[in-house]
């Protein structure tokens, strides 16, 4: 990711915590600790862009570390959910072309481990370096670095700086392993065509090499003429096709509603888009709905890796800090999730709930027997409860408390049948302050909303919507809603398919409840899985 992106969105670090390896017993309410499975390498040291490599018996995960991305860190992981830092893999060097570091990739070629990584270079004339390692922890830089810079002017900027962003784009490099041969290594990178409308010059560059030192530039892997920049590209075979993903955001993305039928809700959103092809080197075409992730606290940098028969997506996300909404100064990794072709739609991708994640929530919260609602009128009976089943009819803003207060990280499962209205969960609800974190599904509009529950007048509550998402997987009147609630983030799945992620401002503890707005239907709570604090 470019430093322009980082400095725009990364402010001075405040109260956020860290964890090297979050165990089940180290839960969300401990000061200075992160919640369930949110990886940061050290105190005050966030983890931004990430790329992964599977070693003999564990994963090696590389991240851009520090507020100014002043090093490439390395961590080890048995499962891409829990991580342990192993320090710095590649340091930056002040006053040189790599005084700050950008994205890269690790791979094997001819039985040796290599890393390609990128940096801004003087005057933002981006360049790409090469390093080699025997143990995947300590890396030796090539003495002739950088090995890639000033891409061929026949297809790219060459030596002419881009007048819109300044500098020359040649960064965020990734290899295309399915195109490797004994003779050639192929790599793609963030580039610019250097011609035409400045807002539409962004492209994914392509190059190949016989020795990893001398690179032959080829025409762009993908140049749709829609983006100012297409950062952190990745190519991976998923199912029967190859998918190319990249990062963009409103300030360097789609220009008009005619380009793509849905605008960003705010300038703070980031988006992962994708294109699809029948071969690793293309030709690529933009998917019908090219959005894999979007939102103010959505995965903003991803990697795609193979694990057995599955493909997993690893994700860096922004984390809220303190009490102020939209204070996203920290990055970290959330658990890896399976990604697949959608059934019946081979050009569409879906991210799924990882089954092994359920093992990280070994405990349960009890559902209380009594019916507790935010209804001051006992004669108004719009909600009924029998054990784990709740029925409701034409509710107003109705909050049904289901547990006693808890600070636990949670995985909540429920089956809904909804005839009308919005339904969902409230977590960490403080009944005295009338505040909490809400996740709502509107099946009629195919929309997911993240909202804060806030007090209204003397006794009421209302919802302040903070982020909203179109649910791209089918949602009927009957659906399953699963919510992972951590102190650091929420991940929401509808029918086991990822709908969105979010990070609320800090909420330490509270009640878990059902929220029903103008709703008619029923809900069966099938699980309140918990990871309890000590």
**Cα–Cα nearest to 218, from 198, 191, 200, 237:** 191
Q: Compute mean pLDDT per 10 residues along the chain, 534 residues long, and list them.
A: 40 27 30 68 89 96 91 97 95 95 97 97 95 98 97 95 86 98 97 93 97 98 94 98 93 70 68 96 94 88 96 92 67 95 95 92 94 85 94 95 95 97 96 95 96 93 92 92 92 96 85 97 97 67
C-alpha to C-alpha distances, 20 to 16, 36, 335, 341, 531, nearest whole angstrom: 14, 12, 14, 33, 18
What pLDDT is recorded for position 322?
67
What pLDDT is recorded for position 251?
73
- Top CATH class of 360-531 equals mainly beta
What pLDDT is recorded for position 325?
64
Q: Which two tokens stand for residue 444?
A: 């009629």
307, exposed or middle or buried, with CB in 10 Å at 0-12, 13-18, 19+? Answer: middle
Exposure letters 156-165 (e unless 16+ CB within 10 A, then b): bbeeebbeeb
DSSP letter string, 120-143: --GGGB-EEEEEEESSSSS-EE-T
Domain ranges of the chain: 108-352, 360-531
Chain centre to alpha carbon of residue 255: 23
- How many other CB atoms sit within 10 Å of the CB of residue 267? 10
Exposure letters 365-391 (e unless 16+ CB within 10 A, then b): beeeeeebbbbeeeeeebbebeeeebe
Which position has the token pair 């040796």?
112
Architecture of the structural domain at 108-352: 5 Propeller (2.115)
77 sits in which H/E element: strand 71-77
Write phi, then psi, for 154 (nearest 5 degrees).
-65, -30
Residues in CB range of 515: below 8 A, 6 or more apart:
397, 398, 399, 400, 422, 423, 424, 425, 426, 438, 440, 453, 463
3-state secondary structure of 414: strand
Q: Which two tokens stand for residue 274?
A: 């994708």
Which position has the token pair 């339904």?
423
What pLDDT is recorded for position 8?
35
């Amino acid at each position: 990711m470019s430093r322009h992106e980082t400095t725009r969105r990364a402010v001075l670090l405040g109260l956020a915590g860290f964890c090297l390896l979050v165990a089940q017993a180290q839960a969300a309410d401990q000061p200075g600790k992160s919640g369930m499975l949110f990886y940061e390498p050290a105190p005050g040291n966030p983890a931004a862009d990430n790329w992964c490599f599977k070693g003999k018996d564990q994963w090696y995960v590389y991240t851009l570390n520090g507020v100014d991305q002043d090093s490439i860190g390395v961590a080890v992981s048995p499962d891409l959910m829990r991580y342990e830092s192993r320090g710095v893999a590649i340091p930056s060097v002040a006053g040189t072309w790599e005084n700050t570091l950008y994205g890269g990739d690790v791979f094997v070629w001819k039985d040796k481990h290599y890393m390609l990584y990128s940096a801004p270079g003087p005057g933002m004339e981006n360049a790409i370096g090469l390093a080699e390692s025997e143990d995947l922890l300590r890396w030796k830089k090539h003495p002739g670095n950088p090995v890639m810079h000033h891409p061929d002017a026949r297809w790219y900027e060459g030596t002419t700086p881009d007048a819109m962003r300044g500098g020359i784009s040649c960064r965020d490099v990734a290899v295309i392993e399915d195109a490797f041969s004994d003779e050639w290594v192929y790599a793609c990178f963030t580039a610019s065509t250097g011609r035409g409308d400045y807002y539409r010059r962004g492209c994914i560059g392509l190059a190949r090499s016989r020795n990893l030192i001398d690179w032959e530039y080829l025409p762009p892997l993908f140049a749709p003429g829609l983006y100012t920049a297409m950062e952190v590209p990745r190519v991976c075979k998923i199912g029967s096709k190859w998918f190319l993903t990249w990062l963009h955001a409103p300030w360097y993305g789609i220009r008009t509603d005619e380009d793509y039928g849905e605008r960003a809700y705010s300038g703070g959103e980031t988006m992962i888009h994708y294109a699809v092809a029948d071969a690793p080197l293309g030709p690529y075409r933009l998917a019908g709905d090219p959005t894999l992730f979007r939102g103010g606290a959505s995965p903003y940098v991803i990697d795609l890796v193979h694990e057995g028969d599955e493909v997993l997506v690893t994700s860096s996300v922004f984390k809220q800090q303190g009490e102020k909404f939209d204070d996203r100064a920290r990055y970290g990794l959330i658990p890896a999730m399976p990604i697949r072709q959608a059934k019946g739609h081979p050009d569409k991708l879906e991210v799924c709930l990882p089954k092994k994640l359920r093992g990280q929530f070994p405990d349960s919260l009890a559902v209380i027997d009594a019916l507790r609602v935010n209804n001051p009128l006992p004669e108004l009976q719009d909600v009924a409860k029998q054990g784990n089943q709740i029925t409701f009819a034409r509710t107003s803003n109705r909050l049904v408390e289901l547990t006693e207060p808890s600070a636990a990280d949670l995985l909540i499962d429920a089956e809904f049948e909804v005839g009308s209205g919005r339904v969902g969960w409230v977590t960490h609800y403080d009944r005295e302050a009338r505040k909490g974190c809400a996740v709502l599904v509107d099946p009629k509009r195919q929309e997911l909303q993240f909202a804060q529950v806030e007090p209204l007048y003397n006794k009421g509550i209302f919802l302040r919507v903070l982020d909203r998402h179109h649910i791209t997987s089918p949602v009927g009147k009957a659906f399953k809603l699963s919510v992972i609630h951590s102190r650091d983030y929420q991940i929401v799945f509808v029918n086991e398919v990822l709908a969105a992620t979010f990070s609320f401002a800090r909420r330490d503890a509270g009640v878990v409840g059902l929220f029903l707005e103008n709703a008619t239907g029923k809900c069966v709570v099938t699980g309140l899985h918990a990871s309890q604090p000590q």
